[in-house]
Amino acid sequence: MTLKPIALGTLIALAAPMALAQEISEETVAMITEKLAAMNCQMDPDDIEMTDTGGYDLDDVICEGGNQFDIELDADMNEVGRRAE
């Protein structure tokens, strides 16, 4: 079976997000969890995603007082962005 160029392009486009989704190591999850605890925040580790720059997107972080944020960390675990939800 041969794929037509359009079908092949669609297949590649659909597979690309799966290839980008990388498994976050337990060590990294522990480091992020520890950092959040120091900030009086917590989150579900399943909501940690690696960015294309090697950092991490933390979705649905709940901090002291009940405030919820999306937080971005760089590869060195420095906070580089925060957006209230």
In a domain, 66, yes or no: yes
> Which residue matches tokens 């997107």?
57
Q: Tens of pLDDT along 35-80?
A: 999 999 999 999 999 999 999 999 999 999 999 999 999 999 999 9
For the stretch 53-65, pLDDT in tens is 999 999 999 999 9
Q: Do the domain assignments include residue 47?
A: yes
In a domain, 29, yes or no: yes
Is the pTM value of this prediction over 0.85?
Answer: no
* Residue 51 within a domain: yes
In a domain, 14, yes or no: no
Q: Which domain holds residue 76?
A: 24-84
- Strand, coil or helix: 7: helix
